[in-house]
Amino acid sequence: MSASTHPLWPLDRVLASPGRAELTPDAAGGGALLSLTGDWTLAHYKALNARAAALRARIGPEVRIDPSALGAIDTAGAKLLHSLLGAQRLAELAADASALPAERRALLKAVASALDVEAAAPPRAGNALADVLEHVGRTMGVFWQHVVGLTGFIGLILETALRVMVQPRRWRITALVANLEKTALDAVPIIALLTFLVGAVVAFLGATVLADFGASIFTVDLIAYSFLREFGVLLAAIIVAGRTASAFTAQIGSMRANEEVDAIRVLGLDPIELLVLPRVYALLLALPMLSFVAMVSGIVGGMLVSALTLDISPVMFLSRLESNVGLIHFLVGMAKAPIFAFLIAVIGCLEGFRVQGSAQSVGEHTTSAVVQSIFVVIVVDAIAALFCMEMGW
């Protein structure tokens, strides 16, 4: 049979530019020959897909495939070949070592395997309740993983701290002082200002509510109790969580992304000892001092508002503060500061070590560190409040 009378003639072309498929009579086998030539890439996908759809119905089992002139191919081109030839023919082509180089056969096998898995997956029936329960289950699983990771990291820090404590030559005083300056001294202005304003707001609320009962003098007790027991340490911890935990995560995460942590390990040094302990110690010292500043600043703000709106002079304010507010309230507030500091520092450093190596990962874990730190601080503060109430403190 001549070429002009063959049922698959004339020539069909998928693309006039690089990617092309020619369906011609097969002189050797007497059937038809599909010659794959040019580049089958994403750049030519639209035209290739249109012509492949026209050829797909004409590719029968008698058609022989010739990929000897095939140029570049990517996953888009491999997917198009899968739709054109079918899974079985593509698998035969990928198994023929004489037809294609090893890297192209590997690409075709990977794409065919992925498409076969996708096609074999049964359609998922929608169920709102099941979706909600699945989401809750996944969330609880992630939460449990975070709890296990956090407790394990705390144990690692404590073990390293005890080991280093008995070896004074390994103490890193310079790193401790540098971190103490960043976490404590640089944070004093913002904490003092914010707690001063919150103290003024609390005094305004007390003046508004208590004045109706003729008990404006109890505004002093309200300000003192709230800032000595709760607001002073809690506001300081929340500000430190947003300011310092994020900094710890970004610093260690950037080192992870730049493979500096791996370099420290290669040098035979311990990243926990070098990167974590100085930050933990610095925050353990910084947060109690910042909490004291917050307490004093909040009380001063409340005292100023009391003097301006309630005619409670500073002398009367301090006199009632001394006579009616016990030292136990100050001690309860200060006792929570080291606990908050340790948890904030541990979470910030742990999220830094979880960074995978990209800028996006650094941002995600920095956000996670801030959210986790604030969440843990508030939960622990609530537990401490319940404990102190039961103990009568």
Q: 10 falls in which pLDDT band (50, 70, 90)?
A: very low
Give the whole-number percent of the chain exceeding pLDDT 90: 23
Same domain, yes or no: 256 and 309: yes
Same domain, yes or no: 203 and 332: yes
Nearest to 172 by CA among 271, 316, 319: 271
Contacts of 338 (CB under 8 A, 6+ apart): 284, 287, 288
pLDDT recorded at residue 17? 45
Q: Is residue 271 part of a domain?
A: yes
Q: How far is Cα 16 from Cα 208, in angstroms, rounded to an integer? A: 82
Same domain, yes or no: 85 and 165: no
Q: Is residue 286 part of a domain?
A: yes
pLDDT recorded at residue 16? 37
Same domain, yes or no: 311 and 196: yes
Same domain, yes or no: 72 and 178: no
Same domain, yes or no: 113 and 171: no
Q: How far is Cα 309 from Cα 360, in angstroms, rounded to an integer? A: 50
Same domain, yes or no: 27 and 155: no
Q: Is residue 126 part of a domain?
A: no
Instruction: Return the minimum-mean-pLDDT range out of 23-32, 96-105, 177-186, 355-364.
Output: 23-32
* Residue 311 clears pLDDT 90, i.e. is over it: no
* Residue 180 clears pLDDT 50, i.e. is over it: yes
Q: Is residue 141 part of a domain?
A: no
Which residues form the domain of 284?
147-391
Higher pLDDT, 233 or 50: 233
Same domain, yes or no: 270 and 192: yes
Read off the DSSP letter of residue 258: T
Q: Is residue 135 part of a domain?
A: no
* Residue 344 clears pLDDT 90, i.e. is over it: yes
Q: Is the Cβ–Cβ distance between 261 and 255 less than 8 Å?
A: yes
* Residue 86 clears pLDDT 80, i.e. is over it: no
Same domain, yes or no: 370 and 228: yes
Pairing relationship of beta strands 20-25 and 32-40 according to DSSP bridges:
antiparallel
Q: How far is Cα 385 from Cα 246, in angstroms, rounded to an integer? A: 27
Q: How far is Cα 153 from Cα 352, in angstroms, rounded to an integer? A: 12
Same domain, yes or no: 368 and 292: yes
CATH code of 111's domain: 3.30.750
Q: Is residue 338 part of a domain?
A: yes
Q: In total, how many domains does the chain have? A: 2
Give the whole-number percent of the chain exceeding pLDDT 70: 86
How far, in Å, are 32, 179, 253, 279 from residue 258 at the CA level? 56, 21, 9, 20
Q: Is residue 236 part of a domain?
A: yes
Work out the end-to-end distance of the chain between its first and last CA atoms, rounded to an integer number of angstroms. Answer: 104
Written as six digits, the tokens of 274 are: 């070098």
* Residue 6 clears pLDDT 70, i.e. is over it: no
Same domain, yes or no: 199 and 83: no
Same domain, yes or no: 88 and 230: no
Structural domain ending residue among the three candidates 66, 101, 120: 120
How far, in Å, are 86, 159, 285, 346 from residue 272 at the CA level? 55, 10, 19, 11
Q: How far is Cα 80 from Cα 64, in angstroms, rounded to an integer? A: 17
Q: Is residue 7 part of a domain?
A: yes
Cα atoms in the Cβ-side hemisphere of radius 13 Å centred on 340: 35
